[in-house]
């Protein structure tokens, strides 16, 4: 990979605290349509256990670090593109409950992969995290139909692909051009251009996003790129203006 894109957010496989009971863990890049994408998962500690969003490839040092933070109790596959490592994590933590967005199991089966027994995510938080984590299904796309989450205590909105925010200074020439064309380059990242063009139900998505923005996020964590730490509401309004 050019431009050191496999090491964008070092140190890798290390929980990095963003506040009380919230961490992100950056993993090695993966190839998606021939392009290197950095990976990131978010970990929350709620009700005495760990809530793991979009798990990256399991690595023994990472698993040992998580063991010190608490027991892994929930594994979250938030959209039909972020599920590949759920099976390995479910085997490692057999007592954890797997939650997956609509469409995840079907896409997994389409690619000939077995997906663990799971519960399907919706707009309604499970009782284990009600009052701690809010969630909303953003409908209208086959792959980017995503369940987003809001950690009330830190006012952190947790996304996967609805916003990508690649930093051009950390990219090689090809990836820099591709992210510019795709409209997903920091400091003004957004929804990938191809997703905007293929979104089936923009009014429904706009209504859902409007509710999410109304929660008043102060931080936006995404799977790919720079975390938004300033004017989060303004950046969300800008990034999703295409829905109006």
What is the extent of the structural domain holding 17? Answer: 2-243
Distance CA 64, CA 76 (A): 19
Average pLDDT in the chain: 91
In a 10 Å sphere around its CB, with 0-12 CB exposed, 13-18 middle and 19+ buried, how is residue 84 labelled? middle
pLDDT band at 237 (very low <50, low <70, confident <90, very high): very high
CATH number of the structural domain spanning residue 10: 3.60.15.10
Distance CA 223, CA 170 (A): 16
Sign of CA dihedral 107, 12, 220, 240: negative
Higher pLDDT, 221 or 127: 221
Query: pLDDT at residue 50 above 60?
Result: yes
Apex CA 240: angle with CA 129 and CA 147, to 5°? 25
Average pLDDT over residues 97-112: 87
What are the structure tokens assigned to 150, written together? 């809001």
Distance CA 57, CA 61 (A): 12
pLDDT at residue 235 in the model: 98
pLDDT at residue 144 in the model: 83
Is 165 in contact with 228 (CB distance < 8 Å)? yes
Residues forming a β-bridge with 40? 26
Is 145 in contact with 137 (CB distance < 8 Å)? yes
Please state the domain count of the chain.
1
Distance CA 88, CA 71 (A): 16
pTM for the model stands at 0.93
Is 185 in contact with 168 (CB distance < 8 Å)? yes
């Amino acid at each position: 990979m050019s431009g050191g894109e496999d090491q964008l957010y070092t140190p890798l496989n290390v929980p990095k605290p963003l506040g009380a009971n919230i961490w992100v863990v950056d993993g090695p890049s993966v190839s998606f349509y021939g392009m290197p994408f950095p990976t990131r998962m978010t970990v929350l500690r709620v009700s005495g256990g760990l809530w793991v969003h979009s798990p990256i490839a399991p690595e023994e040092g990472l698993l040992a670090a998580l063991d010190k933070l608490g027991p892994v109790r929930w594994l979250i596959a938030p959209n039909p593109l972020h599920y590949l490592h759920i099976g390995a994590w479910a085997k490692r933590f057999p007592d954890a409950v797997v939650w997956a967005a609509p469409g995840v199991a079907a896409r997994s089966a389409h690619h000939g992969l077995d997906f663990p027994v799971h519960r399907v995510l919706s707009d309604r938080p499970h009782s284990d995290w009600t009052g701690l984590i809010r969630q909303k299904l953003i409908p209208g796309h086959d792959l980017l139909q995503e369940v987003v989450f809001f950690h009330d205590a830190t006012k952190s909105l947790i996304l996967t692909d609805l916003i990508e925010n690649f930093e051009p200074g950390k990219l090689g020439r090809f990836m820099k051009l591709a992210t510019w064309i795709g409209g997903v380059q920091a400091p003004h990242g957004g929804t990938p251009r191809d997703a905007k063009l293929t979104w089936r139900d923009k009014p429904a998505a706009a209504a859902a996003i409007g509710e999410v923005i109304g929660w008043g996020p102060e931080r936006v964590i995404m799977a790919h790129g720079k975390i938004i730490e300033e004017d989060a509401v303004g950046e969300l309004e800008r990034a999703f203006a295409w829905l109006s």
